[in-house]
């Protein structure tokens, strides 16, 4: 787990107690969108479960084993008071009274929407956060773990594109739930420059694709390409990759090899689509032919590459590094607008509208 996650104390879990796991699955899915979740049965004694952030009991409270389970929870020694939400069935007040007697801090109907139940728990456990905040944090962590594994495998071997696919939904979900600004706030917390950049680009691409009204399939395609577009940097020496300040000519030449190296890694890995391969190799090409590695120009550069190149440059400008203050959104967009001969003007204008809410 990256250090920044450990600092946030994300080791604690939300526990769902269920006597019907099939019935509770939608609730479990909703909890897992915001936090680590563990599902237990009514036989749970709580002896081997570590720190808890909260408990949701989706059980029939009238059963003896259910009562025993919750009484053991509330009597757990040296336990800070853990928020306990009990879901009750039936409309009588007796169910709520029984739940309160068993230690419930909040009672809700078992017919309540899972997201509403989770929202209620969030207000008890994280009063200063919203469900959207936690979703974005959770999804950023998932995407960060993917990037760690991706670069580790690419350093010496191939990339499993099925694993990359698992990183697409977290980015799209986070952008849909919290918007681009919230995603950027989370990603900026990453210390590793390369990971930060890849996650920035992925979120920016997802937000831009959404703003353009691209189909769900195309949003997935472009987000997947953004996640791996810099995979070639896994084989660039760290002294160059993380050098503070400008690179000299020799170092810049080495750095520029990351694009063809990334293309080579993905080609050798197999199962990679043509758009992702093109984006990986050509995301530093410019319309006037001044880019690299192939000096492509104008019609030789496809629309997906043009789109991602804009997002890539923008992300590089707004990155936060110990030796470099981030550029403001306005200044970054001004630079993009000034690259008239290199970038497609219409796309740059559309991009400005897509990120106008960024500070």
Pick from 119, 120, 96, 225: nearest CA to 168: 225
Look at the alpha carbons of 330, 309, 338, 346 in this order and tell me if their dihedral is positive or negative. Answer: negative
Please tell me which residue in 7, 233, 324, 342 is annotated as part of the active site: 233
Q: Using the CB atoms, write b or e for 9-27: b if 16+ within 10 Å.
A: ebeebbbbbbbeeeebeeb
Contact, 59 vs 19, CB < 8 A? yes
Q: Using the structure block, give the residue that is written with the tokens 């979703």.
A: 135
Per the rule left: phi > 0, alpha: psi between -120 and 50, beta: everything else, 285 is beta
Structure tokens at 21: 């796991």
CA gap 68, 102 in Å, rounded: 9
Is residue 233 part of the annotated active site? The answer reads yes
Angle, alpha carbons 227-263-192 (nearest 5°): 40
Interatomic CA distance for residues 16 and 18, integer angstroms: 6
Residue with tokens 């690179």: 247
User: How, if at all, do strands 106-109 and 52-58 pair?
Assistant: unpaired
Catalytic residues: 233
């Amino acid at each position: 787990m990256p250090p920044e996650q450990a600092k946030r104390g994300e080791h604690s879990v939300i526990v769902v107690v269920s006597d019907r796991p099939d019935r509770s699955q939608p609730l479990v899915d909703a909890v897992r969108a915001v936090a680590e979740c563990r599902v237990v049965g009514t036989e749970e004694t709580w002896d081997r479960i570590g720190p808890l952030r909260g408990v949701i009991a989706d059980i029939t409270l009238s059963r003896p084993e259910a009562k025993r389970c919750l009484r053991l929870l509330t009597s757990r020694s040296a336990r800070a008071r853990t928020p306990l939400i009990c879901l009750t069935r039936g409309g009588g007040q007796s169910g709520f009274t029984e739940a309160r007697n068993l230690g419930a801090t909040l009672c809700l109907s078992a017919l309540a929407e899972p997201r509403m139940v989770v929202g209620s728990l969030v207000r008890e456990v994280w009063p200063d956060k919203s469900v959207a905040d936690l979703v974005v944090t959770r999804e950023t962590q998932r995407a960060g773990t993917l990037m760690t594994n991706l670069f580790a495998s690419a350093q010496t071997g191939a990339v499993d594109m099925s694993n990359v696919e698992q990183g697409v939904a977290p980015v799209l979900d986070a952008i849909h739930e919290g918007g681009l600004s919230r995603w950027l706030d989370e990603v900026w917390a990453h210390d590793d420059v390369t990971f930060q950049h890849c996650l920035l680009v992925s979120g920016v691409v997802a937000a831009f694709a959404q703003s353009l009204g691209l189909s769900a399939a195309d949003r997935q395609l472009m987000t997947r390409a953004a996640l791996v577009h810099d995979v070639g940097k896994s084989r660039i020496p760290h002294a160059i990759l993380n050098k503070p300040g400008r690179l000299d000519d020799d170092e810049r030449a080495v750095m520029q090899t990351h694009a063809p190296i990334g293309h080579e890694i993905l080609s050798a890995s197999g199962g990679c689509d043509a758009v992702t391969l093109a984006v990986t190799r050509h995301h530093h090409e410019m319309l006037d032919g001044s880019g690299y590695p192939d000096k492509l120009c104008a019609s030789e550069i496809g629309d997906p590459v043009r789109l991602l190149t804009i997002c890539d440059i923008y992300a590089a400008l707004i990155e936060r590094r110990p030796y470099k203050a981030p550029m403001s959104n306005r200044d970054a967009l001004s630079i993009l607008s000034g690259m008239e001969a290199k970038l497609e003007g219409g796309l740059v204008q559309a991009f400005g509208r897509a990120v106008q809410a960024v500070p």
